[in-house]
């Protein structure tokens, strides 16, 4: 059974105004005093963000429980210094981000200017274990057309600087401003993958390998494939569904590779079209079919994803939970639909943030 780990970035907000609050240093200090040596939480690019990472888990119920504990602990530590956490991929209210002060982040601010200062967005990264770089690159080449579907399911950033962006996941459009971000490949071999990464670093446009922001990449720290397309999900159960489908995609791709089946041949340009459509529509419109690269209703494309990974889900014992999770999400909507419904009901972006803080706290 492949293990899965999840990294979530949370937004720190003022509990009264709902505006982002640059209190990450204070939250991290409080967490360290309360749980010394745990190292669950990490500093991010902006002072208004807080990141946590789970342990690798083979059981999805255990993964979900740990995500819940981490969210609860983040909320508790934030409340202790007078702020709150919200699983929002972008701030509904206007914000002037403050870059965290360290050498790496300062280099990014100097190098990329306003593009850095506009990057206050929160994602969810899923790490899935692989046996080798050879298997990992084979997986990257085969999962690429399906990643936009994961992006659509997770979409949770409809608002930007106090107004509706017109997108379900505006975070992903902001993220694409990094010069190394987006779809990549196919690579064909570990040697080709590592050569591509080395060539990108050698340009001097990015600082190091850690700034290779492919939609999915080989992790530089762990023996995993790291899938990086998702918004941080409003609800913890959506994050678990995302991790479940990501593991099934990786397992399916590895089986195809071992069976000698070739990787899809979609050019990067079409993968970018699929990513844009997913960011725009989420689950409330058409998506591009990962096989034909033609538009189909989102529900049908998500169903095609389930069919594609059905054997892997059955093998891991996750099929029923995944089917129920997908049905629930398509019916109730992702975070973007929930946020828009909250705004329609309350007519207040501040109230949207307040309710999302409550949902995050569980």
| pLDDT band for position 246 (cuts 50, 70, 90) | very high
Task: Report the pLDDT averaged over residues 223-234.
Answer: 98
| pLDDT band for position 37 (cuts 50, 70, 90) | low
Strand runs labelled E in the chain? 4-13, 41-42, 49-53, 84-86, 123-129, 159-160, 163-164, 216-218, 224-231, 286-288, 295-297
Is pLDDT above 80 for 286?
yes
Distance CA 17, CA 79 (A): 14
- In percent, how much of the chain has pLDDT > 90? 90
Q: Which range of residues forms the domain containing residue 40? A: 4-343
Task: Report the pLDDT averaged over residues 153-173.
Answer: 98
For 63-117, the pLDDT digits (tens) are: 999 999 999 999 999 999 999 999 999 999 999 888 877 888 889 999 999 999 8
Task: Report the pLDDT averaged over residues 257-286.
Answer: 97
Q: How would you label 217-247 residue by residue, b for 16+ Cβ within 10 Å and e otherwise?
A: bbbeeebbbbbbbbbbbbbbbbbbbbbbbbb
Is pLDDT above 70 for 7?
yes
For 191-203, the pLDDT digits (tens) are: 999 999 999 999 9
Say if 356 falls within a structural domain: no
Q: pLDDT at position 127, please? A: 98
Distance CA 148, CA 285 (A): 13
| pLDDT band for position 38 (cuts 50, 70, 90) | low
Say if 359 falls within a structural domain: no
Task: Report the pLDDT averaged over residues 211-215.
Answer: 97
Distance CA 232, CA 227 (A): 13
Distance CA 108, CA 96 (A): 17
Mean pLDDT score of the chain: 96
Say if 362 falls within a structural domain: no
Say if 296 falls within a structural domain: yes
Reduced to 3 states, what is the DSSP secondary structure of residue 154? helix
Say if 65 falls within a structural domain: yes
| Torsion of the alpha carbons at 323, 296, 249 and 206, rounded to the nearest 10 | -130
Q: What is the pTM of this model?
A: 0.96
Task: Report the pLDDT averaged over residues 283-295.
Answer: 98
Q: pLDDT at position 230, please? A: 98
Query: Which CATH number belongs to the domain containing residue 254 in this structure?
Result: 3.30.590.20
Structurally, the chain folds into a number of domains equal to: 1
């Amino acid at each position: 059974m492949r293990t899965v780990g999840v990294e979530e970035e949370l937004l720190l907000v003022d509990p009264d105004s709902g505006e982002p609050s640059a209190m990450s240093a204070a939250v991290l200090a409080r967490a360290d005093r309360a749980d010394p040596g745990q190292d669950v939480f990490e500093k991010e690019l902006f002072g208004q963000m807080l990141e946590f990472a789970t342990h690798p888990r083979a059981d999805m119920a255990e993964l979900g429980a740990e995500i819940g504990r981490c969210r609860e602990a983040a909320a508790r530590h934030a409340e202790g210094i007078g702020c709150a956490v919200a699983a929002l991929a972008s701030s509904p209210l206007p914000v002037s981000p403050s870059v965290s002060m360290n050498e790496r982040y300062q280099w990014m601010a100097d190098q990329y200017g306003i593009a850095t200062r506009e990057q206050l967005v929160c994602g969810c990264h899923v790490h899935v274990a692989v046996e080798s770089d050879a298997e990992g690159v084979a997986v990257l080449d085969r999962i690429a057309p399906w990643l936009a579907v994961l992006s659509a399911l997770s979409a949770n950033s409809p608002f930007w600087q106090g107004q509706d962006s017109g997108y379900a996941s505006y975070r992903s459009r902001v993220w694409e401003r990094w010069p190394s971000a987006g779809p990549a490949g196919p690579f064909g071999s570990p040697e080709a993958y590592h050569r591509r990464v080395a060539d990108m670093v050698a340009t001097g446009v990015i600082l190091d390998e850690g700034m290779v922001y492919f939609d999915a990449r080989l992790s530089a720290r762990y023996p995993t494939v790291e899938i990086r397309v998702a918004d941080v999900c409003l609800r913890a159960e959506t994050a678990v569904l995302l991790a479940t489908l990501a593991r099934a995609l990786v397992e399916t791709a590895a089986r195809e590779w071992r069976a000698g089946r070739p990787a899809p041949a979609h050019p990067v340009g079409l993968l970018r079209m699929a990513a844009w459509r997913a960011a725009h529509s989420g689950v409330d419109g058409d998506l591009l079919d990962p096989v034909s690269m033609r538009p189909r209703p989102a529900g049908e494309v998500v169903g095609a994803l389930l069919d594609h990974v059905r054997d892997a889900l059955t093998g891991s014992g996750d099929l029923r939970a995944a089917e129920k999770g997908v049905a629930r999400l398509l019916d109730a909507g992702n975070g973007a639909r929930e946020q828009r419904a909250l705004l329609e009901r309350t007519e207040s972006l501040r109230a949207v943030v307040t309710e999302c803080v409550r949902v995050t706290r569980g």
